[in-house]
Amino acid sequence: MDAIVNGVKLHYEVHGRGSSVLFIHGFPLSGELWQACIEPMKNDYRLIIPDLRGHGQSEASEQASMGRYADDLRALLDEVGERNPVVVVGHSMGGYVAFEFFRRYPELVQGLVLTNTRGVADTEEGRQGRYDTAERVRREGSQVVAESMSKKLFASNAPGELVSHWREVMAATPPEGVAAALHAMAERPDSTETLEDFSRPLLILAGEEDTITPPADAEAMSEAAVGSELLVISGAGHMLPIEQPQQFVAQLEQFLDSMSDPDVHGSWTRWG
Ligand code: MLT
């Protein structure tokens, strides 16, 4: 389905019924990242799965920021008639968007699942690297990022077809969307304080072989967020939801189930 939000056409899918879960994919990927969640979860939950602006089948804009992505998602929740707080699941850049979504719309966030992401901002060198890459992408196309990232996304034993499929997904992302996302990531704030203040249910997942956001990043987030739950999954790199789909879904469902258990999550029992 498509909706016009904040001046761009946003593509999204909604599956199932029940308490809502909003899934935010990473860079430069698409909602397809969450495909393994749909069948096993749709009988119990309402899954809201957008393509961020400039990604997948959503329209690109010249500029993007974590705030703009977050505002798009806020508008999308209105569009799909969502009136209750949701659990937000963010992968990598989707985690950066989730932090901003929580800072802007805390009343809409019931809990958070962060997979393959980090809380800290870029270093000065990292930021400059993103600006340089954005320039190259504008000149030479998204292939630049597709080639370099496809070598780093997966654990060493990932099937070749998986790697080539996702290389194609990244290469098909509009250069304008890729460049805008690189700027948005470079300019994102540090979210350590957000984690320190986040007193709601929080699950942090990491891939043992993730070299983009290594388990140490997940550990740092978990140390900042008292009461969070941290799991490092073996046989997975940066694409944990794709590489270990059964484990990912099992952990997610267990976390969602526990949210309606007052013994586990104290006062956060309105959901479910
Ligand atoms: C992502 O996978 O979303 C990005 O690679 C994260 C990043 O570059 O910081």
How far apart are alpha carbons 150 and 139 in whole angstroms? Answer: 20
Pocket test for ligand 1, best of 30, 51, 55, 93 (most atoms within 8 A of CB): 93
Cβ atoms < 10 Å from Cβ of 186: 17
Q: Inform me whether the pLDDT recorded for 190 exceeds 60.
A: yes
Q: Inform me whether the pLDDT recorded for 96 exceeds 80.
A: yes
**For residues 181-191, average pLDDT:** 98
Confirm or reject: Cβ of 119 under 6 Å from ligand 1.
Answer: no
Nearest atom in ligand 1 to the alpha carbon of residue 26 is 3
The pTM for the full model equals 0.96
Confirm or reject: Cβ of 93 under 6 Å from ligand 1.
Answer: yes
Query: Which pLDDT band, with edges at 50, 70 and 90, does 269 fall under?
Result: very low
Query: Which pLDDT band, with edges at 50, 70 and 90, does 267 fall under?
Result: very low
Q: Where are the alpha helices (DSSP H) in the chain?
A: 35-41, 66-79, 93-104, 124-140, 143-150, 160-171, 175-186, 192-197, 215-224, 240-243, 245-259, 262-265
Quick: pLDDT tens for 204-252: 999 999 999 999 999 999 999 999 999 999 999 999 999 999 999 999 9
**For residues 17-40, average pLDDT:** 98
Query: Which pLDDT band, with edges at 50, 70 and 90, does 265 fall under?
Result: low
**For residues 31-53, average pLDDT:** 98
**For residues 109-137, average pLDDT:** 98
Nearest atom in ligand 1 to the alpha carbon of residue 27 is 3
Pocket test for ligand 1, best of 23, 24, 27 (most atoms within 8 A of CB): 27
How far apart are alpha carbons 102 and 90 in whole angstroms? Answer: 11
Q: Is 67 exposed, middle or buried (0-12, 13-18, 19+ CB in 10 A)?
A: middle
How far apart are alpha carbons 4 and 249 in whole angstroms? Answer: 30
pLDDT at 260: 79
How far apart are alpha carbons 155 and 257 in whole angstroms? Answer: 29
Q: Inform me whether the pLDDT recorded for 86 exceeds 80.
A: yes
